[in-house]
Amino acid sequence: MDCITDLKRRVLSGEQLGKDDALALCGAPLEPLCTAADELRQHFCANTFDLCTIVNGKCGRCCEDCKYCAQSIHYPTQIAEYPLLSTEELLRQAEYNAGRGVLRYSIVTSGKRLGSAEVARVCESIRAIRERIGIAVCVSFGLLDEAAFRSLRDAGASRVHCNLETSRRYFPSVCTTHSYEEKIETLRAARRAGLSVCSGGILGLGETMEDRVDMALTLRGLGIRSVPVNFLNPIPGTPYAHNALLSDAEKRRVIAIYRFLLPDASIRLAGGRGLLPDRGEACFRGGANAAISGDMLTTEGITIETDLALLAKLGYEVKFQNE
């Protein structure tokens, strides 16, 4: 029995694959690997597809030194900086997204964490969104504590996003102003507050395939079932401006391997999907079953209408997963 068939059988039987199993798939033929990943996706998740959008709720002037990010004060990038958006603007964008069939609207802010006054302001915005529009709200407000997350939950937020970005081993090469453990504690605090959690990372930071596998295993150990996968879009002025883009084949391979490791997860194509010539279609046929639609934080994305047409073509049904 070949490696792909054997590992697929083990996953279907309920076994969790280990690191060596995942690394064995790095040398497996790509097309059979992607086909098997899609079969696992169909078995564990059916044809449901989780579609969300994000809004850059506060941009720039971030004191952190994440080497991929245009919003850091440490790097000479050219972005439009602005403070926390008003309730009226957040409402306007939430209504726009809900009207196009998006189920979850995520508010993302720059900085290590929102201050207490900012949390209070955005709680009022979330209440207004939930009362007037009803779309589910996800928040990505940095390294908050459990008390802040409880306030956000009480206001109507249902999910918290905080990416690990990469493996524990490689993270210090990406960021030095906060730790991997702080990110993990943020996810645990959100869960203690009664919120669901979303966490993934970025491919193309200079990490190895082993780092990518290690990140997936850490996410699995934390019980994360909404996993955004970003492909680095090198931004001029950042330390990663000249990083080589990953090949389309390598991106597809990682998505497929993640399906083997995280069989029932929402594996979500996120930033950098627009770099793929097919806008992610091959990945949606090879293990991925979720996406962030519309614009990203500081880069252009893919329109909601374009995504909905693609999902209809592929036979997916847009609905919540892993709540």
Residue 322 banded pLDDT, cuts 50, 70, 90: low
pLDDT value for 101: 87
Lowest-pLDDT range, 78-87, 273-282, 292-301? 292-301
pLDDT value for 300: 59
Alpha-carbon span 31 to 256, nearest angstrom? 10
Instruction: Give the CATH number of domain 18-318; options: 3.90.120.10, 3.30.450.40, 3.30.565.10, 3.20.20.70.
Output: 3.20.20.70
- What burial class does residue 219 get, using C-beta atoms within 10 Å of its C-beta: 0-12 exposed, 13-18 middle, 19+ buried? buried
For residues 254-283, average pLDDT: 95
Residue 191 banded pLDDT, cuts 50, 70, 90: very high
Residue 49 · residue 281 · CB < 8 Å: no
Predicted TM-score of the model (pTM): 0.94
Angstrom CA distances, 25 to 34, 83, 101, stand at 11, 45, 36
Alpha-carbon span 193 to 74, nearest angstrom? 33
For the stretch 10-30, pLDDT in tens is 999 999 999 999 999 999 999
